[in-house]
Homo-oligomer: A and B are copies of this chain.
């Protein structure tokens, strides 16, 4: 079950490995923001990649706030349990920690269908932490990214044989571009978007900043700090629009308002990009700025300098490529100067060696999973 375009990018190699596996059949359910145009529908990308979508679930209830997230999850359970019950799969796979993944987890657990959780055991600094670990308690097989995560899941009382390190599948794609990931396309022409079309040959920045759910009223102020710091740098900037989330309106409106007020001839705004193209863009960028986990995972593997803002990735494992700063324009500016001076970092395999997708498919096929389980203590 894919509920966001970012989750799709992250899991893509696992989907391919499952689809091609002799003993597995892929049934792909696309739901929540992943089916909505407003957030850059993942549907087109998924179909272009050659996957068949088994079911589409429209369960986003508007409100732009916490109540909307809760109700979206509730409707997600109603709709996903219908769909999953109808498909009667042998296992259900869910990813990471977005709020609406809880709908997948509850549907599978309540229908007595074994649940596989990818990327459990990680820690950060917001409601996602509640969601991620609650999903761990509802899951029957845990395929985690790092040994740190593995230790945590086992400590939470899960049976050790059911907690296996695969690395993160997002690194698999990064591996494909790590060797010769030339920027072999014109991003403006291929992906549209809005804003100027500044030259990318001489280096550029990427910004990916999501609203932080537990502080959503501050979302607008937070985005303005980043906008100001980047604006002052006058560097070519490729800005990726935030996901649907509580506060997305604060963030989105902050960006819109800034664009109305300033003439910005060095920024371009994208909604979406195919995963491989995105990684090529990332591979060739001078510095990634924002609060996406991309800065910790793919950027580390590709050796891209990264500035991580705020608490969203709090306590997640990080390699040497990351500088952490607050939502503060001066701090962001200073970190940017440091990273541009430093340049590329050596490759890190902290989050995987590039074979996670295959490992995930093999483990799902070979592990005998049951829906019932018990605490180890």
Contact = CB atoms under 8 A, between A and B. Distances in A.
A249 B38 contact: yes
A79 B130 CA distance: 21
Contact of A36 (B62, B82, B131): B62
A24 interface: no
A134 interface: yes
Interface stretch (A103-111, A274-282, A317-325): A103-111
Contact of A372 (B64, B102, B126, B249): B126
Q: Which interface residue of A36, A67, A76, A111 has the most chain B CB atoms within 10 A?
A: A67
Interface string A62-91: 111011111101111111011001100000
Interface in A169-197: 194
Contacts of A69: 110
A279 B224 CA distance: 36
A33 to B, nearest CB: 9
A146 interface: no
Interface stretch (A150-158, A200-208, A290-298, A332-340): A150-158
Say whether chain A's binding surface is mostly helix, strand, loop, or mixed.
helix
Interface in A264-296: none
Interface stretch (A43-51, A53-61, A225-233, A301-309): A53-61
A154 B133 CA distance: 14
- Tallying the copies of this chain within the complex gives 4
Contacts of A106: 70, 73-74, 102
B377 A152 contact: yes
A21 interface: no
A70 B63 contact: no
A147 interface: no
A277 to B, nearest CB: 22
Contact of A78 (B74, B112, B136): B74
Interface size class of A (residues with CB under 8 A): 35 or more
A235 interface: no
A129 interface: yes
Contacts of A136: 137
Contacts of A130: 109, 137-138, 373
Q: Which interface residue of A74, A106, A131, A260 has the most chain B CB atoms within 10 A?
A: A74
B67 A58 contact: yes
B377 A155 contact: yes
A262 interface: no
A341 interface: no
21 contacts: A36-B62, A37-B249, A66-B111, A67-B81, A70-B106, A73-B106, A74-B76, A74-B103, A77-B77, A78-B78, A82-B82, A109-B130, A112-B127, A112-B214, A123-B374, A133-B375, A134-B134, A137-B137, A151-B377, A152-B375, A155-B156
Closest 4 interchain pairs by CB?
A: A74-B77, A70-B81, A74-B78, A70-B110
Given A35-B63, A155-B157, A156-B157, 11 more contacts: A55-B86, A58-B68, A66-B112, A73-B77, A74-B81, A78-B78, A82-B82, A127-B371, A129-B373, A130-B138, A152-B377
